[in-house]
Structure 1
Amino acid sequence: MKEFRMPQLHINPALIDWTGHEGLPRFDLVKDEDFAGAFDAAMAKHDAEINDIASDPREPTMENTIIALEIAGDELSRISALFWNKAGAHTNDVIQALEREIAPKMSRHYSKIAMNEALFKRVDDLWEKRESLGLTVEEERVLERHWKGFVRTGAKLPKPEQERLAAINEKLAGLGAKFGQNVLADEKNWQLHLSDEAELAGLPAFLRDAMASAARDHGREDGYVVTLSRSIIEPFLTFSERRDLREQAFKAWTARGANGGETDNLAIVKETLGLRVERAKLLGYDSFAAFKLDNTMAKTPEAVNDLLMAVWEKARNRALEEEASLAGLVAEEGGNHEVMPWDWRFYAERLRHRTFNFSETELKPYLQLEKVIQACFDVAERLFGIRATEVRDVPAYHPDVRVFEIRDEEGALTALFLGDYFARSSKRSGAWMSSFQSQHRLPLKNGKKGEIPIIYNVCNFAKPAAGRPALLSLDDARTLFHEFGHALHGMLSKVTYPSVAGTGVARDFVELPSQLYEHWLTVPEILEKYAVHYETGEPMPKELLEKVLAARTFNAGFATVEFTSSALVDMAFHTRGEVGDPMQVQAEVLDKIGMPQSIVMRHATPHFQHVFSGDGYSAGYYSYMWSEVLDADAFAAFEEAGDAFDPVMARKLKNNIYSVGGSVDPEDAYKAFRGKLPDPQAMLRKKGLAMVEELSGSDA
């Protein structure tokens, strides 16, 4: 594909001067062709701002150095926010070509800043005399973040090593962009068209509707299409009675990024791992994992692996028990085959129906997307005193995107929230939260003081046919609550400096607000109010509600094995030296831990986007479990109070977790909320993996 280049060097004002509703960007005035020249102009302007800070003849102070750095590059930040939103949530050939060009260019730009000796000297001078500056806790955290940021990007290295590190970072940025694009291409290009009724055996009406809609989206006038969007592939694997079709679809789903040709990711993985090792060694670390974990709660690879392996043994044992039960169902039905990965969801659903006497098809009519969104907002209002109001006819980046104002108890606007809920071929898979603008209180060059957060959630739920409500699975509903928990972390932020606002925290702390928020989905009074039948409006029958709550830990072995195996492979990749064959390493790790043949990693290496599409969760996928220890213990505080909406605990939660961002140490933040560090047994109990004799275990 020809690389996209634009010679223009001006900036479309709509990219940087956001004049939409309450300061929202005017997405409708931005064209794809605007970005190339705008990036060049904004980077040049940022360079000039950095040089002004570095060459300031005055003695360095927090104001003329750190605050100046915090607000520098505002135009570049705005352009970047709009561009990376499009790259992830509504991309096209023009954006993808530009992404492959911009990712390494941005890396080169920030490497140049990291290697600015005069600038680092000013930051280093402040760091050396920090104890005499009378800094607040937040100011010291911000200063530390800037100082460590320079050091971790090579500021103390000799010039040749700095230049090599910059080249590595630039190359990694390009590899990460290409990795994600390859996965999206494999997802977009595969489909299984079904038309014969025999091929649809077992598929419920909601899934047939979604597959019919997908068929129209793929240009087919008739029939049904299975896609690799999780909102279709997972229910298809759960309900399809055609084992041959389940196998075909499953193998396509798990082969993303490993199909040979232009979209194959294995060479990218190998090169990425090699460059990460070299990067870590240049910075004085034994491994890339040691480098990444130095700035986290876990601190060391050993601490991470200890946690993962302690959970692994319990999860594997539970999964083998679950597999034996599924094998019993296979035998009952006269099947002459072992339980394979494409069988698990199908037989697990049958086992759940037998054990708890309800199925996903019985539950789904009670989980309307609209009602679950309302439930998210209601919980936030009851816990934190904020209210969401949808505003209509406001242009967003796609017609499906919805815009909400978030106001506090006094009615003051505190945030804007955008919800982008439906799957489409221009959107990468998964679900995530991000921001167009972070909260802060600093004075800006345009005369304004501070900004409210503009936060968005992206999900990939199946879009219903026109006139039909979107119905969610219980896992979908949890995903929506999870991502809104991240959104609240951004929207409730009350800090001074943007670099520590909202989710600007340690990677293994960032999942606490999101995973904790999931708990309120299954609070009985929330389900009773919002789990109502989409046709009759009747609440979920109490008997069904009790069954849903009783089944919360059903299939926990399978889910935990899926996750933990992925986290262990991630750590193995990043604690070794260079890797010759990534798939061989993956196989060795899975063999060593005794991975059941009936389960696969949640994210196999060639499509492990958390780890290889950028390095956000590289040597960090474990953080979901680390945060799960925190979230289970945190929700236990409400259970101990006897009220899921206890106002005292809610206030502590808001003030010490959701509002402080990275302005305080995460351990201090957690202890301020809970009074102690977490009890890991709470997490095992939540998963249903704690042994009876462990239930009275002491705090760790």
Structure 2
Amino acid sequence: MNILLNKFTTPFETVPFNEIKPEDFLPAVKEAIAAAKSRIADIKNNKETETFENVVEALENAGPEVDLISGIFFNLHSAETNDKIQAIAKDFSPLLTEYGNDISLDADLFKKIKKVWDHKENFNLSAEQKMLLEKSYKSFVRNGALLNDAQKERLREISTKLSTLGLKFGDHILKETNDFVMLIEDKKDLEGLSEDVIEAAAMTAKEKGHEGKWAFTLQYPSVIPFLTYAKNRELRHKLWLANSTKGFKDGETDNKEIIKEIATLRHQKANLLGYESHAHFILEERMASNPKTVFEFLDNIVNHATPAAVKETEELRAYAKKLDGIEELQKWDTAYYAEKLKNEKFQVNDEMLRPYFKLENVIDGVFKVAKNLYGLKFEQRFDIPVYHEDVKTYEVLDENGKHISVFYADFHPRAGKRNGAWMTSFRGQKIDHGVNVRPHVAIVCNFTKPTPTKPSLLGFDEVVTLFHEFGHALHGMLANTRYETLSGTNVYWDFVELPSQIMENWAYEKECLDLFAEHYETKEKIPADLIKKIKDSSSFLEGRATLRQVSFATIDMAWHSANPDQVKDIEAFETKMTNKMDFLPAVKGTSISTAFSHIFAGGYSAGYYSYKWAEVLDADAFEFFKEKGIFNRDVANKFKDNVLSKGGSEHPMNLYVAFRGKQPNPDALLRRAGLLAK
């Protein structure tokens, strides 16, 4: 019997990774899809009068096995992939797309949904049931239920093709990331780098069969420190160029035609469904509502950030010239001179801070924050199966000792894991026959590995990243809704970053850092003056950083708010979109789009603006905490009860107002960023 189709007998019914083989996935998902289709047939064949329960709720509960198996598979595809998993994905993903299309294009099933929708006033529905009904009805309409047969067939073709192209895009980026190695043989070329970065590079070189040398890769813990601290400008250029040309070099991993095809198919799909563009289609179910609102939002930020960014760029240019006689500042210079200037201005840098941020201590820190805010306790477990030896598992309990969630933590880079950091889940929360099924939540990061002589010491940006992803995890862990599709992070995309981004604020507060930040050798608490420097320097070059984020959001909206057929030259297209936000010389042969996994492989298409949108929400929300105290339980309970636990069961603005007592004020973000007078 296939392990994936049995009820798991592990603690808390967690995934038995130690028993699953790659070849289990395809037969399991096929059988799960067949079971789901049988249940859907029962809904369609039911002769009783259509009700919310026998149609909408029954459909919600039709395919739990499909959700479970696909969740396990795609999480492994991102965090612990291999040749077998990648090969299986090419069949696995289209199967799921076809299954989704079979449901959303089923005319008989839609008739039943529509009958419930048309008579919804006759049912005594709760707010959450109304939301599920609306979401179900709109999902059918947005997936082509009102189309004729020929149009439905075309929609099915487009959806299947898109699922394959997205996987191909991701595989290309992973291959280029894994294949590139910059070997250094002369120790003088390591000048500027810290001992732990050098030691990690030696360890990487040894792993790759080059003992006695130093290897730098395109994994974040390797490329970021090198670009920030390495004095050798030529090698910085080499590494920056490799990182900025991913998917843009022709050959077998080239993504140029793939992204054009993805954008074109998305546009065609939107047109087929009656929308002007993919962005119009996506934003219909976002707080922002339409592209015009997004562009106005981004333009407002650009107007406030540009004067600061111009001034900051001039300051960097002058500083690089004064320090090293650099006549023309280039893109591979900015991180290096920004770090030096920041150090000179604030006497603070990552290497000074790292000793206070031992990974285990930072984990303990976020756990303490969760305890102070929400009464949560995290107990490490050693009996829960994991998919890699690096992964740690915890049982999450409330202050009364009641089980809340299982939490997986996966922190270090490896060949089978994609770059970046993300939160995910292996099981969502729901109420099933009166039982509150609790979630299994994970965060996956790529933090500096421990070396033979040092533990994993995080840079401050990595600390903020951990707090960010843990905020997403809390959104999943504290979910408390009836239906899984409305639970946890299943919210409007421009609302989903609020729980994560608000958590970042604690990382800058003395009251929080005092809980966990201590020197890994001396056990001395992080000095108050160092905390003040972290905070004072937090808005350093904020104008440039803001424009960088807005430029990504602008590229995303440009691809998706108009017909992408007009894009012939990707490089020229990007330059046109971002030249007013970029004050350094353009570098020929580079591209953002061809490695922009968020929008071409990660679900953020027409949604990258949501990071900035959610920053408005989080800045405004944290002002409330600051007014009452950052560990004020009353405010924390309001946030938990109205935001974290409610998922997508109500419109996000209603949830936010219930927490805050008013709509968010955009000036809160500009104030925090130092781009508006306080």
The structural deviation recorded for 1:132 is: 1.9
**Structure 2 residue 626 is matched with structure 1 residue 639:** yes
Q: Is the 8 A contact 1:15 1:82 kept in 2?
A: no
The corresponding residue for 2:599 is: 611
**What letter is aligned with 1:350?**
K
CA distance in 1 between partners of 2:385 and 2:581 (Å): 52
CA distance in 2 between partners of 1:456 and 1:567 (Å): 27
| Pairs within 5 Å for 1:346-385 | 346-385=336-375
Q: 2:12 aligns with which of 19, 22, 37?
A: 22
| Pairs within 5 Å for 1:395-410 | 395-410=385-400
**Structure 2 residue 566 is matched with structure 1 residue 576:** no
**Structure 2 residue 94 is matched with structure 1 residue 104:** yes
TM-score by length of 2: 0.97
Q: 1:134 to 1:605 in 2, by over 3 A?
A: same
The corresponding residue for 1:543 is: 529
**What letter is aligned with 2:627?**
E
How many pairs were matched up?
A: 675
The corresponding residue for 2:539 is: 553
CA distance in 1 between partners of 2:484 and 2:657 (Å): 24
Q: Which moves more between the two structures, 561-570 or 331-340? A: 331-340
State the Cα deviation string for residues 632-677 of structure 1 (Å, max 9, x = none): 0000001122x10112111111100100000111010000000111
The structural deviation recorded for 1:467 is: 5.5
**Structure 2 residue 215 is matched with structure 1 residue 220:** no
| Pairs within 5 Å for 1:336-485 | 336-443=326-433, 449-466=435-452, 468-485=454-471
CA distance in 2 between partners of 1:386 and 1:23 (Å): 21
CA distance in 2 between partners of 1:586 and 1:325 (Å): 26
Q: Which moves more between the two structures, 448-457 or 395-404? A: 448-457
CA distance in 1 between partners of 2:389 and 2:132 (Å): 38
The corresponding residue for 2:247 is: 257
CA distance in 1 between partners of 2:118 and 2:4 (Å): 42
Q: Which moves more between the two structures, 35-44 or 504-513? A: 35-44
Q: 1:41 aligns with which of 21, 28, 31?
A: 31
Q: Which moves more between the two structures, 360-369 or 210-219? A: 210-219
The corresponding residue for 2:183 is: 193
**What letter is aligned with 1:100?**
K
| Pairs within 5 Å for 1:3-18 | 12-14=2-4, 16-18=6-8
Q: 1:600 to 1:503 in 2, by over 3 A?
A: farther
**Structure 2 residue 149 is matched with structure 1 residue 149:** no
Q: Is the 8 A contact 1:237 1:246 kept in 2?
A: yes
The structural deviation recorded for 1:606 is: 0.2
The structural deviation recorded for 1:230 is: 1.2
SS at match of 1:503: coil
The corresponding residue for 1:7 is: none
**Structure 2 residue 613 is matched with structure 1 residue 587:** no
CA distance in 2 between partners of 1:53 and 1:88 (Å): 35
The corresponding residue for 1:51 is: 41
Q: Is the 8 A contact 2:472 2:499 kept in 1?
A: yes
State the Cα deviation string for residues 452-484 of structure 1 (Å, max 9, x = none): 100000001121214631011111011101001
Q: Is the 8 A contact 1:213 1:463 kept in 2?
A: no
The corresponding residue for 2:114 is: 124
The structural deviation recorded for 1:599 is: 8.6
The structural deviation recorded for 1:15 is: 5.2
State the Cα deviation string for residues 118-164 of structure 1 (Å, max 9, x = none): 11111111111112211000000011111111110001111110111
**What letter is aligned with 1:646?**
N
CA distance in 1 between partners of 2:534 and 2:242 (Å): 31
The structural deviation recorded for 1:357 is: 1.3
Q: 1:317 to 1:214 in 2, by over 3 A?
A: farther
Q: Is the 8 A contact 1:486 1:514 kept in 2?
A: yes
SS at match of 2:332: helix
Q: 2:59 aligns with which of 55, 59, 69?
A: 69
CA distance in 1 between partners of 2:453 and 2:101 (Å): 51
CA distance in 2 between partners of 1:335 and 1:464 (Å): 37
SS at match of 1:506: coil
Q: Is the 8 A contact 1:323 1:339 kept in 2?
A: no
Q: Is the 8 A contact 2:181 2:217 kept in 1?
A: yes
Q: Is the 8 A contact 2:175 2:253 kept in 1?
A: yes
SS at match of 1:549: helix
**What letter is aligned with 1:170?**
T
**What letter is aligned with 1:587?**
T
The corresponding residue for 1:630 is: 617
The structural deviation recorded for 1:594 is: 4.6
CA distance in 1 between partners of 2:204 and 2:548 (Å): 28
The corresponding residue for 2:666 is: 680
Identity of matched residues, %: 39
**What letter is aligned with 2:638?**
K
Q: 1:455 to 1:334 in 2, by over 3 A?
A: closer
Q: 1:532 aligns with which of 505, 518, 531?
A: 518
The structural deviation recorded for 1:19 is: 1.8
Q: Which moves more between the two structures, 182-191 or 304-313? A: 304-313
State the Cα deviation string for residues 179-226 of structure 1 (Å, max 9, x = none): 111110110000101121111111111211221222233233222111
The structural deviation recorded for 1:311 is: 0.8
CA distance in 2 between partners of 1:334 and 1:486 (Å): 43
Q: Which moves more between the two structures, 65-74 or 129-138? A: 65-74
The corresponding residue for 1:174 is: 164
The corresponding residue for 1:5 is: none
**Structure 2 residue 221 is matched with structure 1 residue 231:** yes
**What letter is aligned with 2:380?**
E
The structural deviation recorded for 1:393 is: 4.6
Q: 1:385 to 1:379 in 2, by over 3 A?
A: same
SS at match of 2:212: coil
Q: 1:583 to 1:18 in 2, by over 3 A?
A: farther
CA distance in 1 between partners of 2:320 and 2:84 (Å): 49
CA distance in 2 between partners of 1:373 and 1:603 (Å): 35
The corresponding residue for 2:230 is: 240
CA distance in 1 between partners of 2:354 and 2:296 (Å): 38
**What letter is aligned with 2:622?**
F
Q: Is the 8 A contact 1:566 1:603 kept in 2?
A: no
The structural deviation recorded for 1:598 is: 5.9
CA distance in 1 between partners of 2:544 and 2:193 (Å): 23
Q: 1:180 to 1:422 in 2, by over 3 A?
A: same
Q: 1:306 to 1:599 in 2, by over 3 A?
A: farther
State the Cα deviation string for residues 48-99 of structure 1 (Å, max 9, x = none): 1211112211112222112211221111111111111110000011111111
Q: 1:214 to 1:577 in 2, by over 3 A?
A: same
Q: Is the 8 A contact 1:15 1:25 kept in 2?
A: no
SS at match of 2:378: strand
CA distance in 2 between partners of 1:589 and 1:22 (Å): 50
The corresponding residue for 1:8 is: none
Q: Which moves more between the two structures, 243-252 or 311-320? A: 311-320
**What letter is aligned with 1:485?**
G
The structural deviation recorded for 1:343 is: 0.3
**What letter is aligned with 2:226?**
F
CA distance in 2 between partners of 1:669 and 1:640 (Å): 20
Q: 1:345 to 1:578 in 2, by over 3 A?
A: closer
Structure 1: state its 5+ residue gaps.
1-10, 696-700
**What letter is aligned with 1:609?**
S
Q: 2:498 aligns with which of 509, 512, 521?
A: 512
SS at match of 1:441: strand
CA distance in 1 between partners of 2:264 and 2:537 (Å): 44
SS at match of 1:404: strand
Structure 2: state its 5+ residue gaps.
none
Q: Which moves more between the two structures, 392-401 or 179-188? A: 392-401
CA distance in 2 between partners of 1:267 and 1:217 (Å): 35
CA distance in 1 between partners of 2:447 and 2:175 (Å): 19
CA distance in 1 between partners of 2:58 and 2:324 (Å): 72
TM-score by length of 1: 0.94
Q: 1:320 aligns with which of 310, 324, 328?
A: 310
Q: Is the 8 A contact 1:210 1:463 kept in 2?
A: yes
Q: 1:466 to 1:394 in 2, by over 3 A?
A: farther
The structural deviation recorded for 1:679 is: 0.6
